[in-house]
Structure 1
Amino acid sequence: MSAPTVAAPLPPDRSDSAVAEASRTVYGRVVDPEAALPGGRFPAEIRAELDGCQDTEGDLDRLRRRAASWSAGEALRFRELLGPLDAETRAVLVRRTALACAPLALMSGAWLQWLSAPGNGDDPAVLRILALYASDLGVGNPRASRGDAYLPVLRHLGVSENAVPAGRLAADQRIDDGHFRLPALLLAMSRRPDDFTPEILGADLCLRSVGLLPALTLVRAEEPTVTHWDVVDPATPRGEAPGGVELALAAVEDLVARDGEDARARSVTGFRWALTALKEWTGRLHTELVAACDPVFEMAELMRRRAREGSVYHHAFPLEGRPLADWLRESQTDPRPMLAALSRSRLVRPGRPDRSRLVNGLVEENGRMFRVFSPEDLDVVRRWIGSLPGPAVGTPEAGAALSPARPLGLRTWRAEDDGRPPATVREAYHLLLNRTDTPAVRAYAREYVHGWLGRSRHGMDACESSLPARWTTRGLRPWLVDMHDRHNEAFEQGAEQELPSREALVDSTVQLAPLTLIDGAWIQGFTDYEHASSEIGHSLFDTYWDELGNGEARLNHPLIYREVLQEMGVDVPPTASRAFAEWEGFRDASFDLPVYWLSIGRFPQTFMPEVLGLNLAMELSGVGGTYRKARLALKKYGFSTRFVDIHNTVDNVATGHSAWAADAIDTYLSSITASQGAGALDSAWERVRTGYRSLNPPSGFRARQAARRAARSAAKTR
């Protein structure tokens, strides 16, 4: 299945501004947590864009110094804009600057979101990157990301209506297309980490070397207390962590140590591109702000934005001998003639907005234009009228539009080749270990999940180990403690049972390796920026962060499990290698559940309730019982118990992963009730229960039939 087109190739006679809209469109798509950027021409166009920006010479150290110096100079230039201006004009510039910076600032650090994956979660270089990303997110707390710190700025200025979720920004026509260009390309690269990891790290290092965007120093100077500006600044430390530049440099060096000097050269390419793009965008924004000091500029923008819908009306209203509707049609491309005529009309009293019908009688409760203009629009119109008569009115320069931003160059979101689906569950495992995939692999994953969930729903009400039949506002904590007690009782009752033989213990440990070595794969989708810092998702990201060792190899769960395997004399190939999936020591059935984890983890939006249920089942499964029994067996044969010990503690039901998992479900269901009403609660709860059971679904003939029906149904709806 091919993905929908983002921007079709444009005929030569289309304007540059139409091409530039690709930036806005791409941005709206790549902030989607389930966005998948296809191979073929699209990555090639990104590569051409990166390689085409080589204006700045030097190694990373020299580039860092140059970026910091440039940033300091530009910051001064922006702050100097405010000096001679009146309070009203200063407020206009602050508002415009905050909006222009929003596409980048609201997603600060998001380009790192997919650089960790189930196949590389034990790689020290990746763990370093994950530590950098976790710092940006303010891991452990909801709404603590650098982007979340920027949101109060927009709220304080009254321009936040399209800020959440970030994809809504693409619909905000107050933001020029050119302001989406840099973040759109950064986020597009984040969806192809296998192709662009060094370049992403280089661009990230550039942004941290620059620090607070130069234009934002203007906003900070006027609004110093509206937010924690040190958090908005990507260079500053978070808590006890090192500074952003230090962490970013370490990430690049670890990548070079792993991949060689070519990775450094590609990081330099990413840095150069980002600095060139920043300079271009910053210069354009400065030009925009200088123009916006003239009230005619904002009025012209307003008329250009609103002319299309306005031209449907006003056929009977004459303006200098022509219907106003005709003037409005022309204003879609050039509003200056209409503004000049309007300034001479009876609707406007130059210099006297309080006496002008355009912003008084016509827009009042009984006026013909009631609620046509927003309060913000009316401020623009009043400011324009107040500036009349002025030398700019009616002149060729008055209200002239900015020259179009340089086109992004990304023309299509359509894969040239859908590829083929995996032929076996082992091949699926190998292909799904990476974030990057093909439409065919993605379709396979979606159908696999639907089939697995169809099997999990079969006979669910008769299952004793299921979640309660109904969820109540008391939440899941009481149930969680009851389940913990049951695990303990089962362990105590079976304490005298014979432990497995050494051979059986080794075999079970080996067969669990395809599952355990991708610890956290089911919640990989919650590394996505807006999920990872949300009220529902922040604890899932925190869980993922814990599973991979909080950035430290010695605490990394997959690496700890490999140590146990090595003690048992078993040396399996690297997890991400094809040799691992083909290793003869594994049985085929050992890949069934891991492929489900890898598949559902790709769809955090589509299967959110099921992922939440599965997460609770996973975190609770061994606490208080199974881990304790496994510890006895491992200890009996002289193997390390560290893996089960650490899980029995971090997954605890009071303050650990199990508790977080229950709280995430409670938060989700409470939000469903608040937003959709109690009628939606039952359906959502059933999906959570299905996800919970999906860790251990039934395996009988009828259950397998249910799985096939669900998978076929999903295939038909593709």
Structure 2
Amino acid sequence: MTAHPGFTLPDATTSLPRDGFRFSPDAAKEADGVLDAGAAGLFRQLLGDQESETTLLVARRVLHAFLPTGEADPGTDADALADRVRRTRDELAPLLTAVRARDPHTYRLALRQRAPLTLLAGCWLESVSQTATQPAIVVNSLFGHYFRLQGEGTPERGLLARRRRALAGLDVHLPAIETVDFLKETEARPLTVLHASFHLALSRLPASFLPEVVGVYYAMTALGADDLLLGTDTAFPAEEDARAVLAEYLALTAGSPTGERDRRRLAGAVALVLRLEREHAALLRELADWHDGLSLDAQVGRIVARHAPYAGRQHRGVRLGDRKLSDWLDDENLDVAAFVAQFREARQLRPAREGVCRFLRSIKFGGPMFGIFDEHEAGVFTRWAEAVAAGEPADLDFRPNTAGDDRAAAWTAALCAADPDDTLLTEAPADLDDRQLFHRVVNYERFPHILATARARAEAGLADAELLFTHGSGGTLTDAAYFDYTPEALMARVDAIYWDKLVDPYRPLTEIPDRETVIFGQTTFALGSLIDGTWAQRIGNLGRNHRQSDHMLFSIYADEMGRGDLDKNHITLIHQVLASMDIHLPHIRQDAFLDQGDLPDGLYGFSVHQMCLSLFPDSLYNEILGYNLGIEMFGLGAMRLHEIQKLRRHNLDVSYEQAHLSIDNFSAGHARQSADIIVAFLDGVRRDSGEEAVQREWRRVWRGYASFAYFVEHQLVGRVLAAQAAAPADGDAGLLI
């Protein structure tokens, strides 16, 4: 066996290499367009598209614009950093408490303004656990925190749900953060959107910016600006828990060759968070002052401006001054002050004999405009009409809302000038072998230009796998033959695979191969084991974790990663197994892994397919669910039991095999859960779109299962392909095996 330097357990990695990010020229043009579109477009790109290299390039430019380039103190320890953050919290606490004490409507306005940050809910941690970073010590610690932030598999207990409940308790009701009108409903100022975009950008490149992730997570948690603004009694997560991760990371840097640089990067990220949170607290104060200073005329103007885009065509016969009301309200450049001035003089505002003007009668129950304005808006109109009737003079000098705009302009200028020197524009090579492609998809943050190739490879693998829709029943360990979906039919197929293919054929081995043969057999599985869980690593990220199937699949991934417990992490276990065989590999992210000679070349295709699927958690979601079913059932039955028997005979580590035999159990483990996930997903499809859509979506799910079977049943596939190649063009392929 060949020994390679560079990776041993425990994995004390504190940062990954930063030797450049490779993007295609087309992605650069698209990223330019995103940045030119303004803050709202930037936010939507980063939140809404987690599958494109354009998003990763936008993220890289945002991080370049925001992260400090100056030298930060590399010698800072955890206590010193905590003290610095605590002093800033003490500075912000009275300011945010004062905002809480404002008029209730002003306070709710501030809460809505903060919501794009409040509802990010720890997004920096959502992809920190990935193939390129596992099983690093700090990554497991961060993932354990993220698992708790996600409610440990029960989203209602998670941070996002807690914050949603807190907002609702304060009468702030907002759409989901991923909806197209979220920013509009929050009335988010440019500075708010730019700050949120920084956090989203960090969440898109966490492996490349691991020191910054640690710093931002600690600083945001310890500052607790959202808890201060919401008046939350108990911070979640607790500062001391986040500080433990900070201290652990800083201790790891002491033995790292990049330790001093990593400490500088972490300290710089903490300093940035302190700056951003000061800026945003100042914005909230400016916003509150502006709102509290609005005259009644200005408050009416805000209400008119909000409803104008939806109102014009409903008032074709009404005139206001010398213009039709519809002309006023259809004007994209509506002069709100002029409108309010005319409205003050309108006959609809003159008191009738019963003392209530026609306009106020129209918005009450039974009137033609009832239900258009909420309770607060109706109250503003009532006070305004009474003031106009009492002869109070107009105050039409409307002060625009410019809260945070000076600081937003500075960040926008930095974004426009952002040109990171580690960004390389180049087309992805067209002649990559499987080793080279595997290296790039593992390190997709460094090689975003590979995404188009990865997508084509995934689609080709899925298309090839449909061969088994006809021939899959001949599989030894799987049955990918197609069938029309019902929950009962799926469970019947899963039961049949379990008993007929996996369990009943089991007989204890009467002869055990020699040690070298057993070790070689393990190497044929090892590459797939080294990327355990990869297929699900990007499921359930912010903005797309609303389905029950998302939560269930995320929980399976969390189990594969030991829920943050390094000793239970499956990547740790497989490295222990290999070490017991005297196989010491570089980490699969390392360039040296390209040259390893211990694992056979012929099986790279299986792992490449899994990696490529994982990069498209939205558009290949169905296929991932089906693939998950295949791989989780693979952990059961005769093959696994035989491997344990062989390993024990030669005193080799069985921990990886035993873990899967247990956790994948068919009663309540991952195998059963994987079938339940598919049922939950398709049940949602049925409710939303009907039975025809269920069968359409199901075909894609089963295609994912077949793509797993295609690699496992290579002998069956080989026979079918050979028979098809030899058959006449009009032959019946179904009769060839």
Question: Which category describes the TM-score, using the shorter chain as reference length?
Answer: 0.7 to 0.9
Q: Is the 8 A contact 2:361 2:367 kept in 1?
A: no
Q: Which moved more, 1:406-415 or 1:564-573?
A: 406-415
The residue aligned with 2:704 is 691
2:59 and 2:205 in contact (8 A); partners too: no
- Does the Cα contact within 8 Å between 2:174 and 2:186 map onto a contact in 1? no
CA-to-partner distance for each residue in 1:274-331, whole Å, 9 max, x for gaps?
A: 1111111121122212333345554333333444565678687543445546655778
Instruction: Name the SS of the counterpart of 1:512 in structure 2.
Output: helix
Deviations 1:452-493 (A, max 9, x none): 00011114144221377233345855654554333564443x
1:46-445 superposed matches below 5 A? 46-51=63-68, 59=76, 61-81=79-99, 89-90=103-104, 92-155=105-168, 160=173, 162-163=175-176, 165=178, 169-172=182-185, 174-213=187-226, 216-217=229-230, 230=234, 233-236=235-238, 243-251=241-249, 253-254=251-252, 257-258=255-256, 259-293=258-292, 294=294, 295-307=296-308, 317-324=318-325, 328=329, 332=333, 335-348=336-349, 355-361=356-362, 367=368, 378=378, 381-382=381-382, 384-385=384-385, 394-395=394-395, 397-398=397-398, 400-403=400-403, 405=405, 406-407=408-409, 408-409=411-412, 410=415, 417=425, 419-421=427-429, 423-438=432-447, 440-445=449-454
CA contact (8 A) 2:480 2:702 kept: yes
1:623 alignment partner, SS class: coil
CA contact (8 A) 1:256 1:264 kept: no
CA distance in 2, matches of 1:304, 1:250: 52
CA-CA distance at 1:659 after TM superposition: 2.2
For 1:149 and 1:321, how far apart are their aligned partners in 2? 52
Answering whether residue 463 of structure 2 is matched by residue 454 of structure 1, we say yes
Which whole-Å CA distance do the structure 2 matches of 1:309 and 1:527 have between them?
35
Give the distance between the partners of 1:506 and 1:56, measured in 2 at CA: 49
Structure 1 residues 235 and 502 mapped into 2: Cα distance closer, same or farther (>3 Å)? Answer: closer
Q: CA deviation at 1:30?
A: 1.6
The answer (yes or no) to whether the contact 1:572–1:580 under 8 Å persists in 2 is: yes
Distance 2:329 2:701 in 1: 53
Q: 1 CA distance for matches of 2:520 and 2:243? A: 46
Mapping of 1:4-19 within 5 angstroms? 5=30, 8=33
Code of the residue aligned with 1:51 in structure 2: it is P
Q: Distance in 2 between matches of 1:159 and 1:703?
A: 61
SS of 2:577's partner is: helix
Q: Is the 8 A contact 1:142 1:533 kept in 2?
A: no
Q: Distance in 2 between matches of 1:585 and 1:54?
A: 43
- Counterpart in 2 of 1:674? 687
SS of 2:672's equivalent?
A: helix
Distance 1:443 1:702, change over 3 A: farther
The count of aligned residue pairs is 675
Secondary structure of the structure 1 residue equivalent to 2:548: coil
**Cα deviation, residue 604, structure 1:** 1.0
With over 3 angstroms needed to count, the CA separation of the structure-2 counterparts of 1:352 and 1:156, relative to structure 1, is farther
Q: Distance in 2 between matches of 1:550 and 1:82?
A: 37
Percentage of pairs with the same residue: 20
Once residues 311 and 502 of structure 1 are traced to their aligned partners in structure 2, the CA distance between those partners, rounded to angstroms, is 82
Amino acid at match of 1:27: F
**Matched residues in 1 for 2:580 and 2:499: separation?**
33
Whole-Å separation in 2 of the counterparts to 1:392 and 1:147: 46
8 Å Cα contact 1:117-1:435 kept in structure 2: no
Q: 2:47 aligned with 1:31, yes or no?
A: yes
CA distance change for structure 1 residues 81 and 518 in 2, over 3 Å: closer, same or farther? closer
Equivalent residues of 2:155, 2:161 under 8 A apart: no
Distance 1:489 1:435 in 2: 38
**SS class of match (2:42):** helix
C-alpha distance in 1 between matches for 2:30 and 2:418? 5
- One-letter amino acid of the structure 2 residue matched with residue 30 of structure 1: L
AA in 1 matched with 2:155 = P
TM-score, normalised with respect to structure 1:
0.83
Determine the C-alpha separation between the residues in 2 that align with 1:333 and 1:194.
Answer: 48
Q: Distance in 2 between matches of 1:419 and 1:660?
A: 41
Q: Which residue of structure 2 lines up, in the alignment, with residue 22 of structure 1?
A: 38
**Aligned counterparts of 1:35 and 1:413: Cα–Cα separation in 2:** 22
Q: Per the alignment, do residues 312 and 256 of structure 1 end up closer, same or farther by CA in structure 2, a change over 3 Å counting?
A: farther
Contact 2:151 2:158 in 1 (8 A): yes
1:75, 1:215 within 8 Å by CA — same for their partners in 2?
Answer: yes
Query: Alignment partner of 1:213: what SS?
Result: helix
2:290–2:401 Cα contact (<8 Å) kept = no
Counterpart of 1:715? none
The letter of the residue matching 1:689 is W
* 1:134, distance to aligned residue in structure 2 (A): 1.7
- Unaligned runs of 5+ residues in structure 1 are 11-18, 221-228, 707-718
Measure, in 2, the Cα distance between the counterparts of 1:597 and 1:49. Answer: 34
Q: Is 1:43 the counterpart of 2:60 in the alignment? A: yes
In the alignment, the residues of structure 2 paired with residue 105 and residue 593 of structure 1 have an alpha-carbon distance, to the nearest angstrom, of 41
Q: Does 1:486 align with 2:500?
A: yes
TM-score (norm. length: structure 2): 0.81
Using the alignment, how far apart are the partners of 2:73 and 2:586 within structure 1? 42
Deviations 1:195-236 (A, max 9, x none): 422223212211111124266236x5xxxxxxxx64xx4443
CA contact (8 A) 1:300 1:336 kept: yes
- Of residues 550, 554, 559 in structure 2, which corresponds to 1:546? 559
Gapped runs of 5+ residues in structure 2? Answer: 1-23, 474-478, 725-737
Describe the shift of the 1:297–1:234 C-alpha distance in structure 2 as closer, same or farther (beyond 3 A). farther
Q: Mark the CA change 1:388 to 1:658 in structure 2 (over 3 Å): closer, same or farther.
A: farther
The 1-side partners of 2:535 and 2:551 are apart by 15
Change (3 A) 1:679 1:148: same
SS of match in other structure, 1:347: helix
Letter in 2 for 1:691: G
What is the one-letter code of the residue matched to 2:137?
A: P
